[in-house]
Structure 1
Amino acid sequence: MTTLTPIFTSSSESCNFLQTGPACMLYERLLQPQLADGALDEARSFLDTQLEEAAGLPCDMPAQPEALLDWMRNAALSTTQAYALYLEERRQGAPRRYFANRAHALYFLRHVAPTKLVDGAWLYGLLKHWQELRLRPLLRTYLEELGDGVPAMNHVVLYKQLLAQHGCDELAELEDAHFLQGAQQLALGHLADDYLPEVIGYNLGYEQLPLHLLISSYELTELDIDPYYFQLHVTIDNASTGHAQKAVQAVWENMPLVGDRDAFYRRVINGYRLNDLGLGSTSVIAAFDLEEEVCAMLERKRDVATQVHSDYCRIEGRTVNEWLSQPGQVRSFLDALQKRGWIRRDEDPQSSRFWQLVQGDRAAMFGVFNAYEQQLLHDWIAGDWTPPRARGRSRRRPAPAAEQAGGLDDDMQALHATLRALPAKQQPAKLIELMSPASHFTPAGLLATRLFNAYLQ
């Protein structure tokens, strides 16, 4: 059996080791350059189960495909009108609707990451049919999700950078439900030949402009978190020339001329419904509880922190090691720290002795907490306290790392050599292999995307 390679976490751990849920396991099995034996059978079984569940959900799609364009544009208009009302509410002094604080926003970025890191994957399996004109709207959509091979525009590259910038790129302990949408997308992508109507329907739903995308972008900007990934989707999913328009076009151009058009369209509708399974963005946002996240984070740290603290300091009669020796004591430990004045809630965190131990190059616990974990602690301590002025974080995006450093172009040089050794008719297949969800964001995958673009000109 093929060894699973953890490719979506920043450490040696992946959901393969810490998470045993079916969606996470399938997600990782399908997010490999070479699929293991049986992976496609598992994907098919999973997808059939999801489609059966989706069939019982309500659907707002029109009964006739001819009405799709008006339906899509009316939905986009409704979204922009709702956003205008939101902006007016904010101008009148209403608080942020989604993110109570910066930690809340980073929690959102982290928990939707399994979906964002396979952006566009549902269309991958169509690349082999690049000569079929009826699939061109879908192929163009996939290549644009890949940034046409430009690192600064590749959606997965952008999201990986966003996660890394804020210490949110460790996803190992996320619950299984957060991998369900990504597993669906990967399954559709690898089985596109057998589920073309469902792929088209899923694409139609995913590429519509949702209100949460607009609001998230606005509120991330307020919190000094780079919103570019979300702003990019606002522009490319537009109802005039963007992915939403292409999605409708794809339905029309792939409706069968001979055969059961109604059956095909029913399958499109059911693929559309797949978007409503699993955890959506707004449900992820609503699930955030700052104190619960702080306690869960410290509980995870407890296993490696036991017996590493000195015994000279006692808090409420117990050493730190004693507090950390048994699970389930974190909340009581935090209460004790507050009682002793080590943590002063609803004040500037700099006033808390505990925070001074955590933050700063010379802090006693420097390096123990990553940027995301520090933000959780900071915002939990701060509570209702707000700084007298903005903290001044930079919203400038870091330059894409791909293809910059010497040595990173080895794969690209090897790809050029491989292509030169192949007959012209076999070259597209090699490029397509590197444009998979597992590798399109790598230097070789980005180059493959740029070269493949020539076939669609």
Structure 2
Amino acid sequence: MPVAVKKHSLELLDKNQQSYCDLVSFFQNPDISIHVKEKKASSFLRHEIQIMNSDTVEFPSNITKIQDWIKNNNKMQCLEYQSYLERRKNGAGREYFKNIGQAFEFLVKVAPVKKADGSWLYSMVHYWNDPVFRDLIQIYVEELGLGIAKANHVCVFDDLILDLGLEHFVLDLEDEYYHQPAIQLALAYAPPEFIPEIIGFNLAYEQLPLHLLITNYELNELGIDSHYFNLHITIDNMDNGHSHLSVKAFEKIYSKFRDKNSFIDKIKIGFALNDKGLSSRQILKNLNLDALVLKILKRKAILGNLIHSHKCILNDKAVNEWLSTPESVEEFVEILIDKKWINLNQDPEQSRFWKLISHAEGKMYGVFNSTEKQIIYDWIAGDLIQRAGFKRQKIALVNKNHQDFAFSFLLNEELEQIQHQIAETGNLALKMNKLLPYLAPHSHHSETGLWCTQRFVDFLFPFLSDKK
């Protein structure tokens, strides 16, 4: 790791104000020790809690009723989902995604939090020898897919983003999308005094939300692989899934605490931390293809502002001039709409701009990849896609099939080393301590991390090994 980069990461420890994206990078940095991360996690969480009002958190006053309360919430979500299905059956349109472009935008904007999926429970694995934490650890290793890439939640979501060609869009997100993952990763490295907050956060996160059910349905309807979202519907169930295990863990650990009132107060704080940052519901309400298309065009303008012909003049300026600054690109798009080069809410084939970028004979053919073209197509078509009789175009994406054909020709010395160490170590505690660093949020979805997760499961949850 470059010295300058490491120095920048460590400087975050002393900064009172830092971006959430920087915090995520800090916690995901493999070159920073757990001790240093724990110190940062503690100060960051204390600040987040200090500026938060947890008094408004909906939580059962009677702790013995928590399981019934969660079951009732679950039932209410399912009833609302049935109402949604009935509306769709009666001819109503999609309620989240008007088109594929909007679905792409949603997946991009939830990517930072999905890449931290389950991370808040990492701190629990250090208590592997204490049975009271076993339920929480089981949830964590199941989030890790028991060490199988096709079931590891981060691997599954990364594969989806790569298959759809959305990885570059994630790099261009605003800082607000990193607030919630920063909290999750801070909980991953939180010291022991934050155990109740972690339990409360987990209780909130393992609830079945309506938006998850509808998202799963509409993505599948649009022809987008919804496996990641379906995983969370099946594995988080209240009967024997993560929601059930979360309640069991809460009850066990609650019984061990002497100061019950303090414990519940901290549980509520953890529960409330779940609502910090942008939620999926908020992201869904604020989908804006206009802004996403502008981002695409501004990125292309950086490369294209010197190569257009000076013969094409629009409003007394050559195309190269219009593309010279990000601000002028936005005005240029308005001019293209005004000059009817782009006809919004109409068949894109009636737009000159679409023909230029999508037809083989078009002068801009090949400038935009298939993912970008799908977003632009849906932006131009707009509300027309919802109308009966309009046959929308689905741009064929390049299927990378990276999962099926992935193979490294480079020797994984790190994996060979840990395999040798585990084989040579007879003591279970030593084996586990060697495995734990590779179960960390930055590592568990790597080749070494997946192997270490499998061994951890074999040692601690042999009954889960059959599921692999």
Residues 402 and 28 of structure 1: is their aligned pair in 2 closer, same or farther, counting only changes over 3 Å? farther
Deviation of 1:402 after TM superposition, in Å, equals 8.1
Superimposed CA distance per residue, residues 5-36 of structure 1 (whole angstroms, 9 cap, x where no aligned partner): 9xxxxxxxxxxxxxx95211111100122326
1:24 to 21, 32, 42: 21
* Matched residue, 1:438: 442
Q: For residues 69 and 128 of structure 1, do their structure 2 counterparts lie closer, same or farther at Cα, with a shift above 3 Å needed?
A: same
Stretch moving more, 440-449 or 296-305: 296-305
Closer, same or farther in 2 for the Cα pair 1:332/1:404, shift >3 Å?
closer
Give the C-alpha shift of residue 51 in structure 1.
Answer: 1.8
Question: Which digits, 9 at most, give the CA deviation of each residue in 1:30-68, with x for residues without a partner?
Answer: 012232685433322111121223344512211232111
Compute the TM-score of the two structures, normalised by the length of structure 1: 0.89
Match in the other structure for 1:199:
198
Q: Paired residue for 1:165, among 163, 179, 198?
A: 163
Q: Which of the residues 75, 78, 85 maps onto 1:77?
A: 75
Gap change, CA 1:60 and 1:325, over 3 Å in 2: same
* Offset at residue 222 of structure 1 (A): 1.6
Greater alpha carbon shift after TM alignment, 261-270 vs 250-259: 250-259
Q: Is the 2:96–2:215 Cα contact (8 Å) retained in structure 1?
A: yes
Residues 43-100 of structure 1, C-alpha deviations (whole Å, 9 max, x = no match): 2211112122334451221123211110110010011001001111111122211112
* Aligned-CA RMSD value: 2.7
Deviations along 1:165-208, whole A, 9 cap, x unmatched?
22221222211111111011111011152310001000000000
Q: 1:136-155: per-residue Cα shift (whole Å, max 9, x none)?
A: 11011001100001111110
The CA deviation string for residues 119-147 of structure 1, in whole angstroms up to 9 with x for no partner, is 00000011121111111110110011000
What's the secondary structure of 1:255's corresponding residue? helix
Give the TM-score taking structure 2 as reference length.
Answer: 0.87
2:308 maps to 309
Q: Which residue of 2 aligns with 1:223?
A: 222
User: Where do 5+ consecutive residues of structure 1 fail to align?
Assistant: 6-19
* Contact map agreement 2:357 2:367 (CA 8 A) in 1: yes
Query: Any conservation in 2 of the 1:403–1:443 contact (CA below 8 Å)?
Result: no
Once residues 300 and 134 of structure 2 are traced to their aligned partners in structure 1, the CA distance between those partners, rounded to angstroms, is: 49
Displacement, 1:412?
A: 3.5
Residue identity matched to 1:440: H
User: Does the 8 Å contact 1:138/1:246 carry over to 2?
Assistant: yes
Deviates more, 1:238-247 or 1:321-330: 321-330
Matched to 2:430, the amino acid is Q
Deviation at 1:407, TM superposition (A): 2.4
Q: Determine the structure 2 residue equivalent to 1:15.
A: none
2:355 alignment partner in structure 1: 356
Structure 2 portions without partners, runs of 5+? 7-16, 463-468
Instruction: Please state how far the C-alpha of 1:389 moved relative to its aligned partner.
Output: 3.9
Q: Distance in 2 between matches of 1:100 and 1:285?
A: 11
What is the CA–CA distance in structure 1 between the aligned matches of 2:126 and 2:274, rounded to whole Å?
A: 25
Q: Which residue of 1 aligns with 2:118?
A: 120
Q: Which residue of 2 aligns with 1:337?
A: 336
The whole-number CA distance in structure 1 between the counterparts of 2:27 and 2:82 is 40
**Structure 2 residue aligned with 1:65:** 63
Bigger mean CA offset, 151-160 vs 363-372:
363-372
1:135 aligns with 2:133: yes
Deviates more, 1:52-61 or 1:399-408: 399-408
Does 2:236 align with 1:237?
yes
Give, in whole Å, the separation in 2 of the partners of 1:215 and 1:204: 21
Task: List aligned pairs for 1:95-110, cutoff 5 A.
Answer: 95-110=93-108
Q: Relative to 1, partners in 2 of residues 1:156 and 1:31: Cα closer, same or farther, differing over 3 Å?
A: same
SS at match of 1:71: helix
Q: Which moved more, 1:85-94 or 1:370-379?
A: 370-379
Verify the 8 A CA contact 1:122 1:187 in the aligned structure 2: yes
Query: More displaced, 311-320 or 356-365?
Result: 356-365
